[in-house]
A and B are shown apart, each in its own frame.
Chain A
Amino acid sequence: MKNSTQAQDQSIKKMNWFDRLAHPGQFLKWSKYLIIPLIIITIVLFALGLWYAFFNSPEDYQMGDTVRIMYVHVPNAWLSQFVYMAMAVSAIGTLVWRHPIADVSMKVAAPLGAGFTALALFTGSLWGRPTWGTYWEWDGRMTATLILLFMYLGLVALWRSFDDQLRAAKLIAVLTLVGAINIPIIKFSVDWWNTLHQPSIVSAKGLSMPASIYIPLFVMMFAFTFLFATLHIVGMRTEILRRRADALERKSLYNTGAKGEVK
């Protein structure tokens, strides 16, 4: 009697590197060894970055100490876009190559992306208060980030609306890609709209960056990226295990496959 997970395991017979990467069971095996190293690297990078950010980098001549928020804001803003690109690549993997864990990657990335985007908005708002005088300005960058947050949250809600997660994956992949194509258009249109209505643009990134600023910035960028990588891999493992638990539960309820005999 075969069951659905065994049917997938049959592909173990001939495994090249692609299979090792792709197959859910294999993925669970090798990703286990990645977690501890990833956590350690993340902690080290954060420690290093925060030390640099607080103790070893200069104040800004205009903004004073508050410029240090940049070391959290900029990485989050960058990640909010990077995670969407990672989702888009996973979406292509789901649709074009039918890669078995691409849809898991896409699903797990969505709430993470939402979180980083929300953090970017939050830190940007905190930074804006002393700089612009208000907690919110409709400038091109912040507005586009806000729209991106809604796109992420919409995807999270969509995942939860479907009963069948595998069918959902392919449909959501289509939407993710349509969204990816739209992002440049959205940014362009929001910037354009902003220049119409706010002739004085506050540019928070117009700083020329000496090494004492861009070293801690890059360290923090890497730190946050590794944080995402760690959370992503852990999330993927959780999702695969959850699906396995569901499949086992279903197996105990349903019959196995129907066999046919032709007369």
Chain B
Amino acid sequence: MSIKAFSAIIIRDVKLATRSFGDMLTLVLFFTMIGVIIPFAVGPNKALLSSIAPGIVWMAAFLSSLLAIDRFFRADYEDGSLLAMRHASISLEMIAFAKLIALWLTVILPLIIASPMLALMLNMDFEIFGRTILSLLLGTPALIAFGGVGAAITVSLKRGGLIAPVLILPLSIPILIFGISAIRSNSGMGVEDNAMLFLAGISLLAMAFTPFAIALALRLEQE
């Protein structure tokens, strides 16, 4: 397996995503709009908004990435690229891993870049915002990894759209729990740091092991 092959996959997926800019924009819009809707739902009280802001940002990122799952592997499955990639000199597991990295770059990174807007609308404290970004950076790889498993299993379903998020949501709850707790908690010092560690741990384990499940599922899809 060579670095050239690995990076070729990431570069191609990123190129393709930026060429279909509309898809990326839609996701960012959805993410931001959650921040817009919340004040209508709970009232514009600034103190209230800033106290629930970390939860809202995480929830928005969570839901947006679940929505994006259907697009993870569908294009490559339908146009035959996955079949052709099985004969490459790089294993399907490494291909899956490379794709997860590319997905993080094209799905999550735009959201993180758009998050200051959300922070502004929800009256988020600056220091809290910093911790929010950090927790998103540490936790979203796990979201993508689990999403990848859901995507691989449902890629052959024609109307697979909503079922993958429903399947992955229960599995992703730990990420949400630790993600929000890592930002601020109201009991005891150091709990946030524990949460950050758990978050990083889950992301590392998820990125390390899900490529095997994803590659297995993709092979089974072709049978």
Chain A interface (Cβ < 8 Å from any Cβ of B): 95, 147-148, 150-151, 154-155, 157-158, 161-162, 167, 170-172, 174-175, 177-179, 182, 185-186, 188-190, 192-193, 196, 199
Query: A161-B163, A186-B171, A190-B173 are contacts. A199–B187 as well, Cβ < 8 Å?
Result: yes
If over half of B's interface residues share one DSSP class (helix, strand or loop), that class is named, otherwise mixed; here it is helix
* Chain A residues with CB under 8 A of B202: 185
| Chain B residues with a Cβ closer than 8 Å to the other chain, count | 32
For A190, the chain B residues whose CB sits under 8 A away are 173-174, 177
Collect the chain B residues with CB atoms within 8 Å of residue A192's CB.
177, 181, 198
Asked whether, in the complex, the Cβ of A182 is within 8 Å of the Cβ of B221, the reply is no
A174 touches B174 (CB 8 A): no
Q: Which of B146, B170, B187, B198 contacts A147 (CB 8 A)?
A: B170
Shortest CB distance B81–A (Å): 20
Apart from A150-B169, A182-B174, A186-B171, 13 more pairs, CB < 8 Å = A150-B170, A151-B170, A154-B163, A157-B166, A161-B157, A175-B149, A175-B167, A178-B171, A178-B210, A189-B178, A190-B173, A192-B177, A192-B181
Shortest beta-carbon distance from B119 to chain A in Å: 23
Q: Considering the chains assembled together, what is the distance between the CA atoms of A104 and B154 in angstroms?
A: 20
- Chain B residues with CB under 8 Å of chain A are 146, 149-150, 153-154, 156-157, 159-160, 163, 166-167, 169-171, 173-174, 177-178, 181, 185, 187, 191, 198, 202, 210, 213, 216-217, 220-221, 223
Nearest-neighbor residue (CB-CB) of B167 within chain A:
A154
For chain A, what secondary structure do more than half of its interface residues adopt (helix, strand, loop), or is it mixed? helix
Q: Which residues of chain A are near B187, meaning CB under 8 Å?
A: 196, 199
Instruction: Enumerate 7 A-B pairs (CB-CB under 8 Å) in ascending A order.
Output: A147-B173, A151-B171, A161-B159, A178-B213, A188-B174, A189-B173, A193-B181
Collect the chain B residues with CB atoms within 8 Å of residue A177's CB: 213
Report the bound CA distance from A252 to B146 in whole Å. Answer: 42
Q: Which residues of B contact A158 (CB under 8 A)?
A: 153-154, 163, 167
Docked complex Cα distance between A161 and B154 (Å): 9
User: When A170-B223, A174-B217 are in contact, do A189 and B174 touch as well, CB less than 8 Å?
Assistant: yes
**Are B220 and A189 in contact (CB-based, < 8 A)?**
no
A172 touches B181 (CB 8 A): no
